[in-house]
Structure 1
Amino acid sequence: MKLHITYDHPIPINAFEWTPSFDRQSPHMHSSLEVGLCLSGKGRFFFGSKSYAACPGDLFIVNNEERHIAQSDPHDPSRYLFINFDPALLLAEDPGLLLPFSYRSTRFRNHIAGGSPLAQELTPWIHAIAQELRDKSPGYLAMAKSALVQLCGRLLRHYSDLLNDDERQTMVQAVRQAHSLAALVERRFREPLSLAELADELGSSVPRISRAFVETTGYRFSDYVSLLRVQAAKQELLGTDKAVADIAFECGFQSLPTFYRVFKDKVGVSPVSYRQSMGTVQQADE
């Protein structure tokens, strides 16, 4: 099962607490990345065929391809603090920060033991992100993003040391290809885009660069283009009084039905409802 993640803030980061069920539920996955901190209680955390005991202070790294689920001990239920974020946030900041989440090996350990030097180093940054998003003090979006970068930078240093030279080179090459493709898309998403043309422009093949992009970001090319177009449309809906149809075409959508369908899928409501809910109503949209 693939979950659809929505974000509660203008920046694509969520922080939330969660207590797993006593019964083992069906595993799920999502395009976002996660770092989970066990705050209290006991249980187990499952990643595919891997299973880890969970105790207070333990951390868990979740990428966008591995099915996972946590389960509570019925006598001492576990409680987690999760930081959930869009990989595109790190892609724009520094593609190398995605390396800790780009694992594709059953040998990868998703678990970081509580009390270990790494857990002690990471835990304050997890709490800092959650506090910034909760308090919403002036500058909180920049502070939350900065704390996330610090968190992922420390993960990068840790996991990079565990890779052999071939693994590191392969992963770095994939991240670089993904970053090059993302940079082109970010500049030209308002235009009609063809993956074949962009791959040729970057001197790569469609299968190679498509695979690198999915493995690094969790997004298919078409989904990433749609994401950027929807983000631009949201800004236009709130910041201008343009008609919805004009916004749709200016942001790169080729038809209004496609725009409405993709927008509702990504945001959860229609463009008109989104504008109205934010206090900006355009008579021409009704």
Structure 2
Amino acid sequence: MKLTITYEHDVSINAFRWTPHAYRQPLHAHASLEIGLCLSGTGRFYFGRKAYEVNRGDVFLVNNEELHIAQSDPDDPSRYLFLNFDGALLLAEDPGLLLPFAYRSSRFHNLIPAGSALAEAVTPWMLAVERELRDREPGCLAMAKSALIQLCGLLLRHYTRELSAEQQLSAARSANQTKALAQLVEQRYREPIGLRDVAEELGISMSRASRVFRETTGRRFADYVALLRVQEAKRLLAGSDRQVAHIGFDCGFQSLATFYRAFKDATGLSPVQFRQTFGLGAPDAAPTRK
């Protein structure tokens, strides 16, 4: 089951607390990356065919492809702090920050155990993200983003140390190629642009370009292009009174049907609904997280 995640702030990060059911719900995935911290209680956390016993202080990494679900112990329900965030945030900062989430499920240990040096290091940053988004003090969005980047930097350093020198070199090469791909797309996403175009411009094969982009970001190339177009459309819908159709075409979509479908998939709302909720003169409201 694929869930749609919408964000409650202008920066694409959610922080929320959640107590899983005492029975096992269906596994799900979502386009956002996720980090979970068990604040109290016990239970189990399922990732595909993997299952981890959960205790207070355990931290879990979730990428945007792996099916997962948490379950509480009925006698000692677990409670979590979860951070959901769009991988594009990290891609814009440093593609290497995405590497801890670019794992293959069967070979990856999602659990960072309570009491370990890494869990002790990342927990304060998770709490800082939550605090900034909750308290909404001046500069909170920048502070929340900064805390998330610090957190992911710690993850990157930890997982990089576990790689051989050859694997580190390969990972760095992939990250640099992904950054170059992303920069080209950010310059030209309003145009009809395809993977072949940017691969040829960078002098690499389409298969190589597709593979490194997917492995580093967890996204298909076409999905990332659509994401940039949707983000620009959101800005224009909320901040101008231009016609919806004109906005869709100006952002690079080749048809209104494609624009509406991509926008609804990314936000959970149609472009018209988004403007009615967040556009100029709209009443204050927050999007619904699903």
TM-score higher than 0.5 here? yes
Aligned AA (1:123) = T
Aligned AA (1:180) = A
Structure 1 residue 231: deviation in Å? 0.7
Identify the residue that residue 263 of structure 1 maps to in structure 2: 263
Number of corresponding residues: 282
How many Å separate the matches in 2 of 1:234 and 1:106? 37
How many Å separate the matches in 2 of 1:90 and 1:212? 16
Q: Which structure exhibits the higher relative contact order, with contacts defined as CA atoms closer than 8 Å and separated by 6 or more residues? A: 2
Identify the residue that residue 233 of structure 1 maps to in structure 2: 233
Identify the residue that residue 285 of structure 2 maps to in structure 1: none
* Per-residue deviation, residues 134-183 of structure 1 (Å, max 9, x unmatched): 11111111000000011011111111111122322332222222221111
Identify the residue that residue 280 of structure 1 maps to in structure 2: 280
Identify the residue that residue 120 of structure 2 maps to in structure 1: 120
Identify the residue that residue 152 of structure 1 maps to in structure 2: 152
How many Å separate the matches in 2 of 1:195 and 1:129? 35
Matches within 5 A, 1:1-286: 1-104=1-104, 106-280=106-280
Decide whether the 8 Å contact of 2:38 with 2:57 is kept in 1: yes
* Secondary structure, counterpart of 2:155 in structure 1: helix
- Distance change in 2, residues 1:3/1:166 (3 Å): farther
Runs of 4+ aligned structure 1 residues displaced above 3 Å come to: none
Q: Any unmatched runs of 5+ in structure 2?
A: 283-290
TM-score by length of 1: 0.93
Structure 1 residue 245: deviation in Å? 2.0
Structure 1 residue 86: deviation in Å? 0.7
Aligned AA (2:35) = V
* Secondary structure, counterpart of 2:82 in structure 1: strand
How many Å separate the matches in 2 of 1:259 and 1:49? 36
Q: Which moved more, 1:235-244 or 1:178-187?
A: 235-244
Q: Any unmatched runs of 5+ in structure 1?
A: none
How many Å separate the matches in 2 of 1:171 and 1:65? 19
* Secondary structure, counterpart of 1:145 in structure 2: helix
Aligned AA (1:19) = T
Aligned AA (1:247) = I
How many Å separate the matches in 2 of 1:260 and 1:229? 12
How many Å separate the matches in 1 of 2:272 and 2:58? 44
* Per-residue deviation, residues 100-143 of structure 1 (Å, max 9, x unmatched): 11122634321111122221111110000001111111111100
Q: CA RMSD in A?
A: 1.6
Decide whether the 8 Å contact of 1:129 with 1:148 is kept in 2: yes
* Per-residue deviation, residues 9-30 of structure 1 (Å, max 9, x unmatched): 1111111111112122222222
How many Å separate the matches in 1 of 2:279 and 2:237? 10
Q: Which moved more, 1:47-56 or 1:11-20?
A: 47-56
Q: Which moved more, 1:259-268 or 1:15-24?
A: 259-268
Structure 1 residue 281: deviation in Å? 6.3
Decide whether the 8 Å contact of 1:32 with 1:218 is kept in 2: no
How many Å separate the matches in 2 of 1:60 and 1:257? 38
TM-score by length of 2: 0.92
* Secondary structure, counterpart of 1:163 in structure 2: coil
* Secondary structure, counterpart of 1:74 in structure 2: coil
- Distance change in 2, residues 1:227/1:107 (3 Å): closer
